[in-house]
Amino acid sequence: MSERIFIGVAWPYANGSLHIGQIAGAYLPADIFARYHRIKGNEVVMVSGSDQHGTPITIKAEQEGKTPEEIADYYQREFLDCWQKFGISFDLFTSTGTPNHTEVTQDIFLKLLEKGYLYKNTVSQAYCPSCQRFLPDRYIEGTCPHCGDPKARGDQCDACGKPLNTAEVIDPRCRICGTAPVFRDSEHFFLKLTAFTDKLLDWVRQQEHWRANILNFTLRYLEEGLIDRAITRDIGWGIPVPVAGFEDKRIYVWFEAVIGYLSATKEWAKSGSDGEKWRSFWQDDGTKSYYFIGKDNIAFHTIIWPAMLLGYGDLNLPHDIPANEFLTIEGRKVSTSQNWAVWMPDYLERYDPDPLRYLLSINMPETSDTDFSWREFVRRNNDELVATYGNLVNRVLTFTYRNYDGCVPQPGELDDQSRVLLKKAEDTLAKIDGLFYGCHFREAIRTAMSLAQETNRYLDDKAPWKAIKEDRQAAATSLYAALSVISQLKTVLYPFLPFSSQKVHEYLGFEGKVEDYGWKRQDLPPGQKLLEPKPLFIKLDTALVEEETARLGQTS
């Protein structure tokens, strides 16, 4: 029986390029999971979009003398290009800048207001008398009370990493004009999070399938007690507040960005034949909703978004939030401002997608931080992808193609060793199935690779390249067994390595897409015409390690 799976993926800020830390944290695991469910024949919708609001975008726009729309549109195009080249298979990647998103956000706002979950309160806010505007936290600069750095922002000090309140910053200045801000009263809407603490605690305590770090973090947060949070602010860029008297204010980005999961599903449904199709993904009890995010975003998905959903009513809560830990680069934390990052557009300009998909899968930061290094990238590519998997596919297919008229050979009776190998391939399919269900992607790809290793050992024993001279039938049998395993490998590796799996699928003589053939044993009909194979992966020159490492931290 087929299942229905909703997959929501973190919304990247449209103010800079994507780096591989974000890919390892959310986008790749989400894509692997979506591809797995699609090949299983399940109904999947995977959505996300760029977050176009918030001060990071207005600051970038002011620095570059552009409008926030221009900045957001530029990065939206770049993101779409990255998904296409890297094979991140969104059903819809939209943005928070659409009329649809505004409509859905305002509907949620008004419904929560009507149900008494929003209320007005007056807060004291920084105001620049010279610019004549309220200043968001990030528009304030001053001296850090902890480390004395003179460039601390109103929300955080980058030098020591401590979060700050605007009021703590010593000698605060307006980041635009340098004037000292004054504090003025301003009226805002608050989300009554305190009303949800008990309901959320009950719900979270039932989520025993969550990763331990996520469950524990969420429980600690809830047990400390929630506080109500302002959901509007004094800025001009963002979604208008649908209440008279609030024309100069906008809905806070943290409140509306999470609504994107719902608005994107509605947009996706409208673009298809059935505009109401979003309902089955959001209102049907049988649907499971998964959210793929980085660990810096957990509370928004385990507490705040569920509170909003509970308040609104009749919408599914998350089933799982398999947030990943961080990926460090050459032993150091990613810093976009110091250019200590591997940028996706740069990577995709120079290398194929599957080698990075492979490395980030087999080294995924699922339960603890993991490290990316260029040395590891080259080693994994050359010693594992090329030497273990690529070489297996290439030597079996090339030899068969040349010696059996370009067709799948007719096997003789299988001996014990061949039967054991084929049984192992079938067990692998079942084992990986279970691993996918628990979102254990690292273990899943390791299991697939160990089947490839086992098949190489089998071929070393059988040596069909020698056997063919004395016993053509025995050689055909072992090649047939090896081809059968390769046919299963392309299925189990498809969620991880979609580009090379599709190639193997075609070399084996299958038509159409790997995905259409399902998650099952795919027997090869003897006599099926093969396609002349080419090497699946390219061996990389170790000289690139030094070149690439030297680029890190370079700022022009």
Residue 169: CB minimum distance to Zn ion, A:
10
User: Contact with Zn ion (CB under 5 A): which of 146, 395, 424, 472?
Assistant: 146
User: Contact with Zn ion (CB under 5 A): which of 80, 92, 113, 159?
Assistant: 159
- 391's CB contacts (< 8 A; 6+ apart) are 456
Q: Does 550 bind Zn ion (CB under 5 A)?
A: no
333 three-state secondary structure: coil
Give whichever of 156 and 373 is closer to Zn ion, judged by the CB atom: 156
**Residues between 115 and 134 that touch Zn ion (CB under 5 A):** 128, 130-131
From 140-148, 314-322, 370-378, 411-419, give the range in contact with Zn ion by CB under 5 A. 140-148
User: How far apart are alpha carbons 247 and 236 in whole angstroms?
Assistant: 9
Give whichever of 103 and 168 is closer to Zn ion, judged by the CB atom: 168
Q: Does 147 bind Zn ion (CB under 5 A)?
A: yes
Give whichever of 17 and 179 is closer to Zn ion, judged by the CB atom: 179
User: How far apart are alpha carbons 237 and 248 in whole angstroms?
Assistant: 10
Count residues near Zn ion (CB under 5 A).
14
End-to-end CA distance of the chain: 56
Residue 556: CB minimum distance to Zn ion, A:
27
Give whichever of 179 and 186 is closer to Zn ion, judged by the CB atom: 179
Q: Token pair of 163, please? A: 């979060």
Q: Does 432 bind Zn ion (CB under 5 A)?
A: no
Nearest-5° Cα angle at 402, 400 to 405 = 85
User: How far apart are alpha carbons 264 and 258 in whole angstroms?
Assistant: 10
Residue 127: CB minimum distance to Zn ion, A:
9
Give whichever of 180 and 545 is closer to Zn ion, judged by the CB atom: 180
Binding mask 169-208 for Zn ion (x = CB under 5 A): -----x-xx-x-----------------------------
Q: Give which of 333, 337, 316, 317 is closest to 325, Cα–Cα.
A: 333
Q: Token pair of 102, please? A: 């505004």
- 69's CB contacts (< 8 A; 6+ apart) are 52, 97
CA dihedral in degrees (405, 411, 415, 417; nearest 10)? 50
Q: Token pair of 439, please? A: 């979102």
Residue 160: CB minimum distance to Zn ion, A:
3
Q: Does 144 bind Zn ion (CB under 5 A)?
A: yes
Is the Cα dihedral 467, 473, 478, 479 positive or negative?
Answer: positive
Residue with tokens 């799982």: 320
Residue 139: CB minimum distance to Zn ion, A:
8
Give whichever of 148 and 518 is closer to Zn ion, judged by the CB atom: 148
Q: Which residues are near Zn ion by CB under 5 A? A: 128, 130-131, 144, 146-147, 149, 157, 159-160, 174, 176-177, 179
